[in-house]
Amino acid sequence: MSKKKKDKDKKAGKAAARDLEIVRPAQRWDFAVPDGPPSPPPGPTFNLNAELTDCANAIQLGLASLLSDIPGASERLTDAMRHGALNGGKRIRPFLVRLTAQMFGESPLRSRALQLGVELIHCYSLIHDDLPAMDNDDLRRGRPTVHKAYDEATAILAGDALLAHAFHWLATRIGFSAETNNRILGELAEAAGPSGMVGGQMRDMEAEANEETSLDDIALMMNLKTGRLIRASVRVGAIYGGADDESLEAVTRYAEIAGAVFQMADDLLDFTADTATLGKTAGKDEAAGKQTLVSRLGVKTAQKRMDELVEQAIAALSRFGPEADGLRATVRYFAARPN
Ligand code: IPE
Ligand code: IPE
Ligand code: MG
Ligand code: MG
Ligand code: MG
């Protein structure tokens, strides 16, 4: 990255960090479809921007309510949890829960408790990912990271608290049969833990600045640190909606590929986007010696590979009709998103 671009990014980052009240407009999800082979548009009835906006608004309201008056939690802890959660994320994991539950007949409202629990787990992961001992980031979703706005100990505890709060919330609110509840809780716990996100985060740390890391190791790391929670979001939505085994299998395959697309886009954006658009400091991966498919294959090849994966994810949904248009549009959005 040129020095001029870096300086510009730094300036934009500082300006964004100063503005603690940044509200993300609905147009945040408007995105340009990239050049390349034309793909069939999402079904005529599905409006991705409108659905994403509706979901993000509902999640913001729901989180604001479930992160107020937490019995026993000090004001500082509650504020730090709120800072980490109520700050304009894209809410794509709740969106996946909502879409899959809807595909199998459950309304967005009925799956909302589940959507909120999944987003709480994700918000915890971001707070810890940004810590000085991890990625050491100052900016997240256009605002100072939790350890910057508070302090490191508070950020660690706010992350721990969001994770435990998520499972408490889910255990008491999913509101299905005990068997389905247990299955959903098990899926999410596994996806968040050592065989999932935390396992992937450890691999990410171990790979940092290690150019011996193989492409297979990088793919596994991406799959665990990001892919598992995306996979679990799709699966728990489908389980909640009562999907049969074959349908669950098909959406799982979709989610595994879509998770890889999502992280590849994240890695590409770190190289290609600017800090103001990203809401996090651009160019950090290269500076930290992060091992990604982008750092190893180059932007062009990684982009091409990602576009192929989008088509594979859509192909995994071939058994479904227009009810899967939301998922089809979503994986295209994962690849084309601006941030
Ligand atoms: C960022 O996730 C971390 C990754 C797993 C790549 P998102 O891009 O979903 O972040 P928010 O929630 O929209 O801020
Ligand atoms: C984070 O991956 C994955 C998580 C589990 C949070 P990154 O470290 O690339 O995510 P960003 O770029 O900081 O959002
Ligand atoms: Mg990281
Ligand atoms: Mg990071
Ligand atoms: Mg990243």
Minimum mean pLDDT range among 10-24, 195-209, 285-299, 306-320:
10-24
At residue 4, the pLDDT reads 59
At residue 41, the pLDDT reads 37
At residue 27, the pLDDT reads 27
DSSP E strands: which ranges in the chain?
A: 139-140, 143-144
CA geometry: angle at 248 spanning 243 and 249, to 5°? 155
Contact at 8 Å (CB) between 229 and 192?
yes
44: left (phi over 0), alpha (psi -120 to 50) or beta: alpha
Report how far ligand 3's centroid is from the alpha carbon of 339 (Å): 16
- In this predicted model, what pLDDT tens digit does every residue of 25-81 receive, in sequence order? 232 222 222 333 333 333 457 899 999 999 999 999 999 999 998 999 999 999 999
Which residues contact ligand 2 via a Cβ below 6 A?
125-126, 129, 135, 137, 197, 201, 225-226, 266, 280
User: What is the three-class DSSP state of 69?
Assistant: coil
Distance CA 132, CA 138 (A): 9
Question: Which residues does residue 143 pair with via DSSP β-bridges, in sequence order?
Answer: 140
At residue 302, φ and ψ (nearest 5 deg) are: -65, -40
- In this predicted model, what pLDDT tens digit does every residue of 297-328 receive, in sequence order? 999 999 999 999 999 999 999 999 999 999 99
Q: Is 128 in the pocket of ligand 1 (CB under 6 A)?
A: no
- In this predicted model, what pLDDT tens digit does every residue of 253-284 receive, in sequence order? 999 999 999 999 999 999 999 999 999 999 99
Q: Could you please report the per-residue DSSP string of 286-308?
A: HHHT---HHHHH-HHHHHHHHHH
Contact at 8 Å (CB) between 251 and 108?
no
- Please give the number of the atom of ligand 1 that sits closest to the Cα of 87: 14
Whether the predicted pLDDT of 82 surpasses 50: yes
CA geometry: angle at 11 spanning 27 and 84, to 5°? 55
Residue type, 72: G
At residue 31, the pLDDT reads 27
Q: What is the DSSP letter of 140?
A: E
Helices (H) and strands (E) in the chain, counts: 17, 2
Report how far ligand 5's centroid is from the alpha carbon of 290 (Å): 9
Tokens of 248: 């669950």
Residue 88 burial by Cβ neighbours in a 10 Å radius (0-12, 13-18, 19+): middle
Report how far ligand 2's centroid is from the alpha carbon of 277 (Å): 16
